[in-house]
Amino acid sequence: MPATATPDVLEKLVSLCKRRGFIFQSSEIYGGTGSVWDYGPLGVELKKNLKDRWWHAMVRARDDIEGLDAAILMHPRVWEASGHVATFTDPLVDCKNCKKRFRADDPKIKGTPGTPDAQCPVCGMKGTLSEPRMFNLMFKTYMGPVEDSASIVYLRPETAQGIYVNFLNVQQSTRQKVPFGIAQIGKAFRNEITPGNFIFRTREFEQMEMQFFVEPGTDDEHFAYWKEQRMRWHHAIGLSPDRLRYKAHEQLAHYARAAFDIEFDFGGTLGFQEIEGIHNRTDFDLGRHQEYSGKKLEYFDQPRNKRYVPFVIETSVGADRVTLAALVNAYREEEVAGEEEGRTVLGLHPSIAPIKAAVFALTKKEGQPEMAHRIANELRPQFPVDYDETGSIGKRYRRQDEVGTPFCITVDSDSTRDGTVTVRDRDTLKQDRIAADALSGYLRERLQG
Ligand code: ATP
């Protein structure tokens, strides 16, 4: 993927995320686990806010989509039916010299792997790259006490199959009529050959997937609808429209009739990369599960006395990848008029910011800390708020800017006399003087998604 003119902020973000408690390397005290990450106090809030906004838009705000939380471990036949056992593979090559492994289609490899002119992108040796061999990306484990081939189960590489096998359970229990959808958020695992770029590509990640079941023949119009809806969602969570684009798949997967990615410009050498896929999967999945399970997965359209296997329009977005997009999109460094030191700001959309407001007392005198504590305690049941009394007020503002807190509330000497406080806006730096009693309504109005 070609580099874009947007600056590369990834390295700075990785350090900010660790320093401020967004994201830590997994098992760091043991030297870390390759490409596995833990979400700290602020990161878990950010990712949860994104998942909540997705769940709200896809499930709660609609009457034609139902929620589901299927198990990670599924019957092994599921993955035969889905095609993952046979085809969820990437071509892998090894360097016989430096022992590094690559995807055979890695653009850094010069020449054809397996031939004398192919050059290893790490050690630079020629003729040391093996012929490509296919490598299945599913993690295997054993169910029960016996580790034999009969007890192999897989960690799911996508959440979608849990939806397909529950299609009739959900349809019949909710009495939904086609067209309708099923949505779920959950972990997925892929033994990626080349994970990396922070939380962009990891071996354990979360997906937010929705499968919309439609009558064959109406699939094109539903596909067009979801393609547009999903782009709107990315705008609504604050990703800049000029960093988002659609990309049509040049090669369609065996099951797909149409497929588009929504790409986000991560900047630097990463450039535009997929954050979400929208696929017309036809009746492939339900058809295969019918075949492999021997159970009918047909919808009965009662008024028309017609039975059919619905087509599926899928929308599939990575919660971690969209968290990274939100962080990259929000990161900026600014000069501040009249100050030597600039500021780092995470301009996160207020609805996804981990802390909504910070409360400060200007001085430790005149009952100011008491009043500030009172305000923080009153707001806390409604919004995540932070109370901070250390350092100069300027330093406290900078600390909140850096983690994306949209509002800072300061109690000063006037506050204890007349009950008003200042509210500073993270982006405009404008300060409003308002009654402390009115804070809850003031914030609520400005924090909505
Ligand atoms: P890629 O081409 O990047 O490997 P994919 O086309 O295999 O992705 P899908 O199977 O369509 O991805 O998965 C849907 C979404 O899940 C992706 O758009 C991405 O946001 C997320 N995703 C997939 N693999 C990973 C991963 N290894 N780490 C983090 N997120 C992932």
Q: What is the dihedral of CA 189, 191, 196, 197, to 10 degrees?
A: -30
Token couple for 12: 């700075």
Span between the terminal Cα atoms of the chain, in Å: 32
Pocket test residue of 39, 90, 210, 316 for ligand 1, highest count of atoms within 8 A of CB = 316
Q: Counting atoms of ligand 1 from 1, which one is nearest the CA of 192?
A: 27
Q: Are 402 and 386 in contact (CB under 8 A)?
A: no
CA 202 to ligand 1 centroid distance, Å: 9
DSSP element (H, E) containing 231: helix 219-236
Share of the chain above pLDDT 90, in %: 86
CA 14 to ligand 1 centroid distance, Å: 20
Q: Is the pLDDT of residue 326 over 80?
A: yes
CA 238 to ligand 1 centroid distance, Å: 21
Q: Are 340 and 388 in contact (CB under 8 A)?
A: no
Alpha carbon distance 222, 215 (integer Å): 10
Q: Identify the bridge partners of residue 248 per DSSP, sorted by sequence position.
A: 260
Cis check: omega of the bond before 7, within 30 degrees of 0: no
Q: Counting atoms of ligand 1 from 1, which one is nearest the CA of 200?
A: 29
Find all residues with CB under 8 Å of 258, minimum gap 6, and list them.
Answer: 220, 223, 252, 279, 280
Q: Identify the bridge partners of residue 91 per DSSP, sorted by sequence position.
A: 134
CA 158 to ligand 1 centroid distance, Å: 9
CA 79 to ligand 1 centroid distance, Å: 18
Which DSSP category does 146 fall into?
-
CA 368 to ligand 1 centroid distance, Å: 50
Q: CA nearest 354: which of 20, 7, 12, 3?
A: 20
Q: CA nearest 10: which of 227, 278, 200, 139?
A: 200
- The residue contributing the CA closest to ligand 1 atom 19 is 318
List residues near ligand 1 (CB under 6 A). 158, 190, 192, 201-202, 205, 207, 274-277, 316-318, 320-321
Token couple for 112: 């054809």
DSSP element (H, E) containing 186: strand 180-189
What is the gyration radius of the CA atoms in the chain, in angstroms?
A: 26
Length of the chain as a residue count: 449
Token couple for 99: 């022992």
Pocket test residue of 158, 159, 199, 205 for ligand 1, highest count of atoms within 8 A of CB = 205
Q: Is the pLDDT of residue 439 over 90?
A: yes
Which DSSP category does 387 fall into?
E
Alpha carbon distance 248, 258 (integer Å): 8
pTM over 0.85, yes/no: yes
Q: Are 346 and 352 in contact (CB under 8 A)?
A: no
Q: Is the pLDDT of residue 112 over 80?
A: yes
3-state secondary structure of 362: coil
Q: Counting atoms of ligand 1 from 1, which one is nearest the CA of 195?
A: 27
pLDDT band at 194 (very low <50, low <70, confident <90, very high): confident
Alpha carbon distance 387, 385 (integer Å): 7
pLDDT (average), residues 352-363? 96
Q: Give tens-digit pLDDT for 225-237.
A: 999 999 999 999 9
CA 296 to ligand 1 centroid distance, Å: 30
- The residue contributing the CA closest to ligand 1 atom 18 is 276
Q: What is the pLDDT of residue 341?
A: 80
Find all residues with CB under 8 Å of 324, minimum gap 6, and list them.
Answer: 198, 199, 200, 266
Q: Give tens-digit pLDDT for 130-188.
A: 999 998 999 999 999 888 888 999 999 999 999 999 999 999 999 999 999 999 999 99
Q: Are strands 204-214 and 311-318 parallel, antiparallel or unpaired?
A: antiparallel
Alpha carbon distance 426, 357 (integer Å): 10
CA 206 to ligand 1 centroid distance, Å: 10
Q: Are strands 180-189 and 65-67 parallel, antiparallel or unpaired?
A: parallel
Q: Burial letters for 61-82: b for 16+ Cβ neighbours within 10 Å, e otherwise?
A: eeeebbebebeeebebebbebb
- The residue contributing the CA closest to ligand 1 atom 29 is 201
- The residue contributing the CA closest to ligand 1 atom 26 is 201
Q: Counting atoms of ligand 1 from 1, which one is nearest the CA of 279?
A: 11
Q: Are 434 and 421 in contact (CB under 8 A)?
A: yes
CA 35 to ligand 1 centroid distance, Å: 14
CA 106 to ligand 1 centroid distance, Å: 17
DSSP 281-331: EETHHHHHHHHHH-----EEETTTTEEEPPEEEEEEEEHHHHHHHHHHHHE
Q: Is the pLDDT of residue 47 over 70?
A: yes
Q: What is the pLDDT of residue 2?
A: 57
Q: What is the pLDDT of residue 449?
A: 63
Token couple for 120: 């290893």
Q: What is the biggest distance separating any 2 CA atoms in the chain, rounded to whole angstroms?
A: 82
Token couple for 237: 């969570």
Share of the chain above pLDDT 70, in %: 99
pLDDT band at 305 (very low <50, low <70, confident <90, very high): very high
pLDDT (average), residues 29-48? 94
Q: Identify the bridge partners of residue 245 per DSSP, sorted by sequence position.
A: 263
- The residue contributing the CA closest to ligand 1 atom 12 is 277
Token couple for 421: 């406080």
Pocket test residue of 274, 315, 317, 322 for ligand 1, highest count of atoms within 8 A of CB = 274
Q: Kindly report the average pLDDT of the chain as a whole number.
A: 94
Q: Which amino acid is at 195?
A: P
Pocket test residue of 201, 231, 262 for ligand 1, highest count of atoms within 8 A of CB = 201
Q: Is the pLDDT of residue 366 over 90?
A: no
